[in-house]
Amino acid sequence: MDELDRALSGWRRGERGAVDELFRLVYGELRILAGRQLRGRRAGETLGPTALVHEVYMRFADRSSPELIDRNHFVALAAGAMRMVIVDHWRRKRSKKRDPQAPLSAPLDDVPAPSPLLPIDILALDEALRALAELDARQAQIVELRFFGGMTLEEIGGILGVTERTVKRDWQKARAFLYHAMRSGGTQDADG
C-alpha cells in the first residue's frame, strides 16, 4: 500500500487526520485542477485556485469517506465539489450584484475537447447539467469529470467502468444536449 492508498483507507475507516493526509498528497494536483477551472478570471476576483482547493477541503473535512477506489475516484469527487463551490460562488456574486455588467462566465479553453470552447455561463451550465442528469446520469457525470475534473476520456472510462469509445460517444451527446439546452435558455454557449 502506498501513502495515498493508506490515506484513502484511513478516511474510509474514519481515522482522525486521514483527510488531511489525503489532501496533502493530492494538493498539487488539485491546485492545477482549480487553476484550470479559474483561468481567465478578472482582476480582483476573490475565488482563486488556493481558495477553491481550501473550500473543497472544508467540504470534505467533516464528512465520512465514500467508497473511493483510487486517486482518480478521489479527484472525481473533488471535481464535483469544485463544481459546487464554483456554482455557489457565482450565485453569491450574482445575488450581491457587485458588478451587474460583469458576465458570470468561466473559460473552457483548457478543457480537452475536439474544438476550442468559448466562455460560458457557469450557472446556465449547472442548470443544464442538472437537466441532463435527469435524462442520463452517466452523461452528466462525464461532463462533470471532463469539465470540472479535467480528466481524459480514458480516465473517465476507468472510473465509470466503460470503454473510452463509450465515454467519447456520451461526451459528444452530452455536449450537444448542453449546447441546445443553454442556447434555448438564451445563455452564451459553446460550439461543437
Last residue of a domain, one of 43, 61, 96: 96
Residue with cell 466503460: 162
From CA 113, how far away is CA 191, in angstroms rounded?
A: 11
Tell whether 19 and 62 lie within a shared domain. Answer: yes
pTM for this predicted structure: 0.65
Last residue of a domain, one of 77, 96, 115: 96
In a domain, 15, yes or no: yes
Tell whether 120 and 87 lie within a shared domain. Answer: no
Tell whether 128 and 153 lie within a shared domain. Answer: yes
Question: Poorest-confidence range of 31-35, 97-101, 114-118?
Answer: 114-118
In a domain, 192, yes or no: no
From CA 37, how far away is CA 176, in angstroms rounded?
A: 21
Tell whether 123 and 171 lie within a shared domain. Answer: yes
Q: What are the backbone angles phi and psi of residue 106, rounded to the nearest 5°?
A: -140, 145
CB 93 within 8 Å of CB 107: no
CATH number of the domain that residue 171 is part of: 1.10.10.10
Last residue of a domain, one of 30, 61, 96: 96
Tell whether 58 and 86 lie within a shared domain. Answer: yes
CB 108 within 8 Å of CB 190: yes
Q: Which helix (H) or strand (E) holds 30?
A: helix 18-38
In a domain, 46, yes or no: yes
| pLDDT digit string, tens, across residues 69-101 | 677 778 788 888 888 888 888 778 777 655 555
Range of the domain at 148: 105-184
Tell whether 166 and 118 lie within a shared domain. Answer: yes
Tell whether 74 and 114 lie within a shared domain. Answer: no
Tell whether 69 and 41 lie within a shared domain. Answer: yes
From CA 37, how far away is CA 48, in angstroms rounded?
A: 10
From CA 65, how far away is CA 123, in angstroms rounded?
A: 28
Q: Which three cell numbers stand for residue 66?
A: 465514500
Tell whether 61 and 126 lie within a shared domain. Answer: no
Count of domains observed in the chain: 2
| pLDDT digit string, tens, across residues 144-178 | 888 877 788 998 998 888 999 999 999 999 999 99
CA 60-64-65 angle, 5° bins: 80
Tell whether 83 and 109 lie within a shared domain. Answer: no
